Amino acid sequence: MSLGERNIKIAMVSCEPSIISFGFRGIVSVARAIVPSTQVFFLPFDNFYSMLNIVHPPSRTNDSGKLDDRCYYYIADVLSKYDLVCFSLLSSTNFYTKHIVQRLREITNQQVYVMGGGVHCILNPEDSIKYFDAICVGEGEICFEKFLKAFINGKEYVQTENMWFNFKGKIVRNRRMELLKNDFLSTLRHRYIGMDCFVFDFFKRKFCRFSKYIYTKHFGLSYRTIWTLGCPYSCSYCENDEFLHLDRNYAKIRYPSSQFIINEIKEAQKIHPYITNIAFYDDNLIAIDLESLRIFSDQYKKEINLPFTVYGVHPNTIDEKKLELLADAGCNRVRMGIQSANERVLTLFNRNTGINKIKDSVAIISRMTKKYKMIPPTYDIITDIPFETKQEIIESLKFINDLDRPFFLAISGLRIFPNTKLGQYFEKIQLSKEALKYINCSSFQLLRPTLSNCLWYVISVFKVPKPVLKIFFKHIKDYNSSQKLYSLAIFFLRILYLAKHSFEHIKKMNFSIIGGKWTYFLWRFKVVRNKKN
């Protein structure tokens, strides 16, 4: 009898802000290969592409509830039918996961084996192991397969590397394994992208079977994936800062062959034929060597031939030849992190990027955008920074306002990940309740309605004349100062900003940032086609 035929019921549960869940989907493929009946559940606490959340970002903090007791017990009751329940969670969803696990143990009287994985378990293992029977503290593809095979066959599994166990009242801390190498990454199964799963509907307060309408509600007509792992940068606000403390090899850009990722996209197209755009969410795809990008670009044009978006571009790795290759292959938009235009703030963020380098990188992107008639690029900006002075806010606003246009800004409020350098910094200083309210918020898109944040939306839509900016600059205050708030103004400015951003995508018939089941019908009635524009 094969392992997959044994009488064990497994539930894989994603407790993350969306159903993208790249790492989780990879582990689901491992589980399905061993136990094909493994059931998959998604609990998307914040749908990034929901029109409601885009227009009006949720104000929940990381320790406030979106679920009531009835929902917790309902979810726990569904999961109680399984022998092994595996959760994937982030620090922002740790609160919910703990409550679900607590209710699950109450219902089953400790009979279900509960495992945890994901970023929170890697960065906060001492906290996670308190309420899980086992946690994965690194990349899970190899260790989870070893654990699962031993668990099914009733063999010893407590010594599995890359995992910790809460075993007979003692914590077993096994050593971390080496990170996966390129050759091995090319042998992995493709991430799970099927339809045979369930998604929790927060309006209906129950699990619903996944469908093409749920897909387009969350993803629009885009397929979201990552090709590479790792990032050489140690930005103080990012979880990669702590990853690099755990293992310096997280700095290496690792990736499977270009044929591997192209085959994954082909597989996704077979299941979801309405995919008209590919989105690469890599931390730093542009850091791949030129020859590998050339091979990818040639294969992509021949075998996929869809427009694609590259996220996670860093100013230090912008290269005109690489961008030219990607644009020729179909790249129709890039997103680059600027974060701040002040040297001191960049230093505190450990960005190690000079202002002139940012300006040069923007110029390269601008040239490529105009040459290939791409959708305007998006630049990431972090705001609501408690240690940023009034003058530093003004410097950033002036710098961004003067950049080559067109562009859009992805304006995010500062959020703190535990154990990062920035997290440790904020543990040592006292902040007002008002500051903590936003820093601890689960949504990056919720901004404090200050005058400076209103201006960020304005300059994202159009260039503001310098005399006009000077008038507003007189009234700007730093984040910690008492100041007038403009809740209604920032709401309407955000709508204006989103309307223009959406218009630029609709002009290109690109529905990668716009979701909703209506986008499926655009494809169904051939308003949108499966080919490069």
pLDDT tens by residue, 510-526: 998 888 899 999 999 99
State residue 27's pLDDT score.
98
Residue 5 is classified by DSSP as G
State residue 75's pLDDT score.
96
Crossing angle for the helix pair 141-153 and 22-34, to the nearest 10 degrees: 30
Mean residue pLDDT across the chain = 90
| CB 277 within 8 Å of CB 223 | yes
As a whole number, mean pLDDT of residues 88-99 equals 91
Alpha-carbon span 85 to 100, nearest angstrom: 11
State residue 3's pLDDT score.
44
pLDDT tens by residue, 229-244: 999 998 888 888 889 9
Alpha-carbon span 317 to 406, nearest angstrom: 21
The predicted model scores a pTM of: 0.92
Q: Could you give the percent of the chain with pLDDT greater than 90?
A: 75
What domains can you pick out in the chain, each with its CATH number?
3-185 (3.40.50.280), 211-413+444-524 (3.80.30.20)
CA distances from 61 to 64, 429, 466 (A): 5, 20, 37
State residue 2's pLDDT score.
42
CA distances from 431 to 171, 387, 479, 531 (A): 35, 10, 11, 51
Residue written as token pair 């010594």: 159
As a whole number, mean pLDDT of residues 176-200 equals 96
- pLDDT above 50: residue 4: no
pLDDT tens by residue, 458-479: 999 999 999 999 999 999 999 8
Residues with Cβ within 8 Å of 322's Cβ and at least 6 positions away in sequence, in order, are 286, 288, 290, 293
